[in-house]
Amino acid sequence: MILKRYFVVILLIIIGFATYAVFLTSSNVSIVTSKNFGTITTSLGSPFLGSPVAPITLIEFGNYQCMECQKWFQETRPYIIANYVEQGKLNMIFIDTQLTKNTPFASFASYCANDQKQYWNYHDVLFRDFAEDKFDVDRLKQYAIDLNLDSKSFEECLDSKKYEKKVKYSTYEAKKNGINKIPTFIMIDSDGNYEKIVGLQSLSIFEEKINLLQN
């Protein structure tokens, strides 16, 4: 049953021209809408993966050294992208939450990649090359080279900790709104109804929650 809590849904027109459709291989998108869960807004996290005006937004709270996050990335996310994101039924964002492991530089690096329109490609590399406690700065810089990013700009961004405040604030907001375990997933529809999934759950649970929000 859909939880009948209604949160203010704020529609923000950020850019006054047509937005791009995002496919699996896309790296970024212009944000035109923002949904809220409590005081958490989707603008806290990554760019949207999928159409910014999709009726449902799936927010993942996680980090890049979370084993369960990596398993979800491998086992469940591809199906959701193929059957919901690419069909325009749902979009996704990732909000960095340093709740269990201190992995800030990987998070900083993902946003430095976003400066060059490569957020999702970099995000995917971090999870595909997953291993606990191995994301040293040199490795993070090598990923940027592998993705043909401007290495000088990327390194300046990473070395300066440009996105430190962003990551700290998103973690603070997650804790304030009851996100105490990662991964946690919040799905919000256009009316502000939401469904919450805590921990690594089966694909059938995600499909059940999506169906509830669609009906």
- The domain that holds 168 is classified in CATH as 3.40.30.10
pLDDT, one tens digit per residue, over 128-165 is 987 655 678 999 999 999 999 999 999 999 999 999 99
Let me know if residue 190 belongs to a domain: yes
Let me know if residue 29 belongs to a domain: yes
Let me know if residue 4 belongs to a domain: no
Let me know if residue 79 belongs to a domain: yes
Let me know if residue 142 belongs to a domain: yes
Let me know if residue 2 belongs to a domain: no
pTM: 0.78
Q: Which domain holds residue 84?
A: 9-214
Let me know if residue 173 belongs to a domain: yes
Between 101 and 211, the higher pLDDT residue: 211
Let me know if residue 1 belongs to a domain: no
> What is the bridge-based pairing of β-strands 56-62 and 90-96?
parallel
pLDDT, one tens digit per residue, over 31-58 is 334 555 444 565 667 888 999 889 999 9
Domain count along the chain:
1
pLDDT, one tens digit per residue, over 172-211 is 888 888 888 999 999 998 888 889 999 999 999 999 999 9
Mean pLDDT to the nearest integer, 94-111: 85
